[in-house]
C-alpha cells in the first residue's frame, strides 16, 4: 500500500474498531448478565486491565509518542486512567507514579515528560556520575524535572543535587525535605544509620555524611504538625533515657494507641530501665503477654536467652523449648542461634545435631544456619562434606546454600578454581541470579579499589583481602575473604562493570561506588544515587 494517508487512515480505523468491539463486548456481557443473575458481568476496568487489546496495541506501537497519541485520540476519557498505567508499564515499569505532574487526572503529557526524563537519565548516566556536582547547574535538566514532576517532588530532586555539592548544604536542604514530607529525610537518615550500624568498618567514611541528631523541638514539630511517625518513634526511643519523665511520657502515648511507645516500654521492662527491676519487669511483661502482646513475648524470650529477668541458663533453655513447642517461631530462632553459637548449654556436637534435626522438620532458619556453617567449614563440616552438603541443598532449592556457593566461587575454595569460579558465577548471572551478580560486583570493586583504603587490603600472594562483617558470625569480628586477583577485572574494567550495573539499578554496585571512593567521593556518589534512583523510580528504604 503506497498511499501513506490511506494507510494511516486504515490503521486508525483498525485501532478504533478493536476498541469499539471491546466496548460492544462489554455492553453485550452487561446486558446478558442483567437478563440472568447466574452470568458474571465484567466491568470495563476488568476488560482493559492486564494483557487486553489496548495493552497489546500500546506495546506494538513504535514509540512513546505514538502511544500517547493513541491514548489521547482513540480512547474515550473514561479509559485514559487505565491506558495511562499501560503506557507506564510498557515504557518504564518502575516509575513512581504518585509524584508525576497531573497524576490525579492521569495527565498524559506529564507521564510522557517523566518517562522521557528517566530515559534521559539513563542515557546521561556516564556523564552525570563523572561530575555529579554539575547537576544542580544543568538548567535543561532542572526544566525537565519541573515539567515532569510535582513542585514538591521537583524540590526533593533538586535538594539531592544540592547535597552533592557539599555536606554543609544539609542545613538548608533538610528543613525543605521535612516540609515536603517525612518520607524523604527519614528514609535517607534510616539508610545512613543502617550502614553505620551494620558495616562498622565503613563507619568512619560515613560519619561525615550522617545528618546528625535532630533536636527535640524539631522532632516534636514533625510528630505533631506533620504526623511524622518516624519522628514520633524517635521521641519514644529518647524517652527511655529519661528515668523520671520517660515512663510517664510512654504511658501517655500508649493511652493514645501508640504501639511503638508500648514496644519501647516493653524493652525498658526487659532491660530493667525506667524504674523496672528483674521482678517488676518480668511481672509487667507477663501481664502484657496475657493480653496477647506478641512484642512482650519476644522481649521475655530474649531475656531467657541472655539471662535477664531472673533467668539462668537452665531455666532459660527450658522456657524457650516450652515456647517453641507452642509454636513460638521467635523462641525457635533463638534456640537455633544458641545451638550455632554454643549458648544455653549447647556444645558444637549437640548444636550441630539440634540444627540438623530441626532442618529435617522443615525449619528454614536452621537450614540457613547450616548452609552458612558449611560455607566456612564450621560446626562439624570439613571441605568434602561441606561442598557435598551445599550441592545437595541447592538441588532441593535451598537459596541460602546457593548464596554460599556463590561466595565460595568468588573466594576460590571448596573445589572452585580461578577458572571454574568465574565460569560458575557467569552461568548463574545468565540465569538471573542477583546474588551471583553481587558477588561479581565485589570482585570488580576489589579490582578498582585495591589501594588499601577502606575495607580492602592488597595481599602479598596474588590475592586481594576483603574484610566484611558476616551477619551470622558472633560479635563484630570481621571475616576475611581471600579473593583471587586474576578474576578478570583491573582498575578500569572493574569501575566500568560497577557503573554499568549501577546505571541499571543494581543496589550492590551502587553501594560499592559510594562506600569506597574516599570521603569526598563517597559523599557525592551517595547523594547522586539518591537523586538517580528517585528519578528512575527505584525507591530505596
The answer to whether 175 and 214 are in contact (CB under 8 A) is no
Length of the chain: 541
Q: Whose grid coordinates read 511483661?
A: 285
Q: Whose grid coordinates read 561442598?
A: 387
| 512 located within any domain | no
Higher pLDDT among residues 110 and 10, named by residue: 110
pLDDT tens figures, 454-486: 344 433 333 444 444 333 444 444 444 545 544
DSSP bridge pairs for 479: 468
Distance (Å, rounded) from C-alpha 270 to C-alpha 446? 43
Which three-class secondary structure state does DSSP give residue 463?
A: strand
pLDDT at 256 over 70: yes
The pLDDT score that the predictor gives to residue 233 is 84
Average pLDDT over residues 109-137: 88
The answer to whether 526 and 132 are in contact (CB under 8 A) is no
HEC string for 138-152: CHHHHHHHHHHECHH
Kindly tell me the number of DSSP H helices and DSSP E strands found in the chain. 28, 3
540 by Cβ neighbours in 10 Å (0-12 / 13-18 / 19+) ranks as middle
The pLDDT score that the predictor gives to residue 65 is 64
Higher pLDDT among residues 203 and 41, named by residue: 203
| Cell output for 179 | 516540609
The half-sphere exposure of 425 on its side-chain side, counting CA atoms within 13 A, is: 28
Which range is most confident: 85-99, 435-449, 516-530?
A: 435-449
pLDDT at 298 over 80: yes
Higher pLDDT among residues 209 and 425, named by residue: 425
pLDDT at 80 over 60: no
Distance (Å, rounded) from C-alpha 377 to C-alpha 446? 24
Comparing 53-67, 81-95, 182-196, the range with the smallest average pLDDT is: 182-196
The pLDDT score that the predictor gives to residue 6 is 37
Average pLDDT over residues 330-341: 95
pLDDT at 206 over 70: no
pLDDT at 306 over 90: yes
Higher pLDDT among residues 26 and 492, named by residue: 492
Q: Percent of the chain, pLDDT > 70? A: 62
Q: Percent of the chain, pLDDT > 90? A: 30
pLDDT at 401 over 80: yes
Average pLDDT over residues 391-419: 87
| 102 located within any domain | no
Comparing 57-71, 159-173, 204-218, the range with the smallest average pLDDT is: 204-218
pLDDT at 532 over 50: yes
Average pLDDT over residues 180-194: 53
Comparing 49-58, 290-299, 307-316, 444-453, the range with the smallest average pLDDT is: 49-58
b (16+ CB within 10 A) / e for 297-307: bbbbbbbbbee
| 35 located within any domain | yes
Show the domain range for 38.
1-91
Phi/psi for 457 (5° steps) reads -130, 130
| 22 located within any domain | yes
Distance (Å, rounded) from C-alpha 436 to C-alpha 428? 6
Average pLDDT score, the chain: 74
| 73 located within any domain | yes
| 490 located within any domain | no
- Within 256-342, residue ranges assigned H as helices are 259-270, 278-290, 294-306, 313-325, 329-341
The pLDDT score that the predictor gives to residue 240 is 84
| Cell output for 531 | 537523586
296 by Cβ neighbours in 10 Å (0-12 / 13-18 / 19+) ranks as buried
- CB neighbours of residue 393 within 10 Å: 21
pLDDT tens figures, 141-178: 999 999 988 888 888 888 888 888 875 555 666 666 65
- The band of 344, judged by pLDDT with boundaries at 50, 70 and 90, is very high
| Cell output for 84 | 495511562
Distance (Å, rounded) from C-alpha 242 to C-alpha 275? 10
- CB neighbours of residue 118 within 10 Å: 20
pLDDT at 17 over 80: no
Distance (Å, rounded) from C-alpha 108 to C-alpha 234? 41
The pLDDT score that the predictor gives to residue 326 is 96
The pLDDT score that the predictor gives to residue 75 is 55
pLDDT at 492 over 60: yes
Beta-strand runs (E) in 131-239: none
| 44 located within any domain | yes
Distance (Å, rounded) from C-alpha 25 to C-alpha 247? 65
pLDDT at 268 over 50: yes
pLDDT at 509 over 80: yes
Which three-class secondary structure state does DSSP give residue 281?
A: helix
The pLDDT score that the predictor gives to residue 103 is 66
Torsion angle defined by CA atoms of residues 510, 512, 513 and 517, in that order, rounded to the nearest 10 degrees: 160
The pLDDT score that the predictor gives to residue 444 is 83
Number of structural domains the chain divides into: 1
Q: Is the pTM value of this prediction over 0.85?
A: no
The pLDDT score that the predictor gives to residue 263 is 95
Higher pLDDT among residues 509 and 518, named by residue: 509
Average pLDDT over residues 91-105: 67
Using alpha carbons, list the distances in angstroms from residue 508 to 229, 435, 443, 514. Answer: 29, 9, 12, 10
The answer to whether 33 and 39 are in contact (CB under 8 A) is yes
The pLDDT score that the predictor gives to residue 512 is 80
pLDDT at 98 over 60: yes
The pLDDT score that the predictor gives to residue 25 is 34
pLDDT at 308 over 60: yes
Average pLDDT over residues 168-191: 56
| 242 located within any domain | no
Average pLDDT over residues 322-338: 96
pLDDT at 347 over 60: yes
List Cβ<8 Å contacts ≥24 apart for 513-520: 513/129, 515/195, 515/199, 515/202, 515/205, 515/206, 515/454, 516/205, 516/445, 516/449, 516/453, 516/454, 516/455, 516/456, 517/449, 518/205, 518/453, 519/205, 519/208
The answer to whether 471 and 200 are in contact (CB under 8 A) is no
- Could you tell me which residues come within 8 angstroms of residue 282 by beta carbon, excluding any fewer than 6 positions away? 269, 300, 303, 309, 310
Higher pLDDT among residues 293 and 224, named by residue: 293
Amino acid at each position: 500500500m503506497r498511499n501513506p494517508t490511506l494507510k494511516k487512515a486504515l490503521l486508525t480505523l483498525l485501532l478504533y474498531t478493536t476498541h469499539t468491539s471491546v466496548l460492544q463486548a462489554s455492553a453485550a456481557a452487561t446486558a446478558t448478565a442483567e437478563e440472568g443473575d447466574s452470568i458474571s458481568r465484567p466491568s470495563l476496568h476488568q476488560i482493559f486491565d492486564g494483557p487486553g487489546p489496548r495493552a497489546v496495541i500500546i506495546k506494538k506501537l513504535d514509540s512513546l509518542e505514538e502511544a500517547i497519541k493513541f491514548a489521547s485520540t482513540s480512547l474515550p476519557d473514561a479509559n485514559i486512567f487505565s491506558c495511562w498505567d499501560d503506557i507506564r508499564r510498557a515504557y518504564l515499569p518502575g516509575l513512581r507514579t504518585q509524584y508525576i505532574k497531573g497524576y490525579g487526572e492521569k495527565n498524559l503529557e506529564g507521564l510522557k515528560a517523566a518517562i522521557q526524563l528517566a530515559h534521559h537519565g539513563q542515557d546521561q548516566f556516564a556523564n552525570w556520575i563523572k561530575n555529579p556536582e554539575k547537576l544542580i547547574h544543568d538548567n535543561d535538566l532542572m526544566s525537565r524535572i519541573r515539567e515532569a514532576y510535582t513542585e514538591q517532588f521537583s524540590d526533593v530532586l533538586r535538594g539531592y543535587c544540592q547535597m552533592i555539592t557539599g555536606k554543609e548544604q544539609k542545613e538548608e536542604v533538610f528543613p525543605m525535605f521535612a516540609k515536603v514530607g517525612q518520607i524523604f529525610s527519614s528514609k535517607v537518615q534510616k539508610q545512613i544509620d543502617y550502614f553505620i550500624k551494620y558495616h562498622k568498618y565503613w563507619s568512619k567514611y560515613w560519619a561525615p555524611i550522617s545528618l546528625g541528631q535532630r533536636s527535640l523541638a524539631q522532632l516534636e514539630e514533625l510528630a505533631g504538625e506533620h504526623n511524622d511517625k518516624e519522628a514520633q518513634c524517635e521521641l519514644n526511643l529518647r524517652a527511655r533515657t529519661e528515668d523520671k519523665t520517660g515512663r510517664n511520657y510512654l504511658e501517655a502515648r500508649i493511652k493514645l494507641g501508640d504501639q511503638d511507645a508500648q514496644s519501647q516500654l516493653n524493652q525498658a521492662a526487659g532491660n530493667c530501665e525506667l524504674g523496672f527491676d528483674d521482678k517488676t519487669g518480668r511481672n509487667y511483661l507477663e501481664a502484657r503477654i496475657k493480653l496477647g502482646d506478641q512484642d512482650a513475648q519476644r522481649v521475655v524470650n530474649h531475656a531467657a536467652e541472655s539471662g535477664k529477668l531472673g533467668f539462668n541458663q537452665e531455666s532459660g533453655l527450658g522456657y524457650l523449648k516450652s515456647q517453641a513447642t507452642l509454636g513460638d517461631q521467635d523462641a525457635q530462632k533463638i534456640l537455633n542461634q544458641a545451638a550455632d553459637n554454643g549458648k544455653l548449654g549447647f556444645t558444637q556436637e549437640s548444636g550441630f545435631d539440634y540444627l540438623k534435626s530441626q532442618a529435617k522438620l522443615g525449619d528454614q532458619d536452621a537450614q540457613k544456619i547450616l548452609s552458612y556453617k558449611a560455607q566456612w567449614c564450621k560446626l562439624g563440616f570439613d571441605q568434602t562434606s561441606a561442598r557435598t552438603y551445599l550441592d545437595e541443598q541447592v538441588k532441593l532449592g535451598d537459596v541460602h546454600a546457593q548464596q554460599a556457593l556463590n561466595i565460595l566461587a568468588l573466594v576460590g575454595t571448596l573445589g572452585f578454581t580461578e577458572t571454574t569460579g568465574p565460569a560458575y558465577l557467569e552461568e548463574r548471572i545468565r540465569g538471573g541470579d542477583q546474588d551471583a551478580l553481587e558477588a561479581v560486583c565485589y570482585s570488580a570493586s576489589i579490582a578498582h579499589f585495591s589501594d588499601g583504603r577502606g575495607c580492602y587490603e592488597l595481599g602479598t600472594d596474588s590475592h586481594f583481602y576483603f574484610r566484611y562483617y558476616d551477619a551470622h558470625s558472633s560479635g563484630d569480628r570481621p571475616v576475611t575473604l581471600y579473593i583471587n586477583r586474576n578474576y578478570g577485572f583491573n582498575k578500569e574494567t572493574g569501575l566500568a562493570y560497577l557503573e554499568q550495573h549501577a546505571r541499571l539499578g543494581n543496589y550492590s554496585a551502587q553501594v560499592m561506588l559510594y562506600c569506597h571512593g574516599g570521603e569526598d567521593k563517597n559523599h557525592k556518589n551517595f547523594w547522586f544515587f539518591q537523586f538517580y534512583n528517585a528519578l528512575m523510580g527505584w525507591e530505596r528504604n
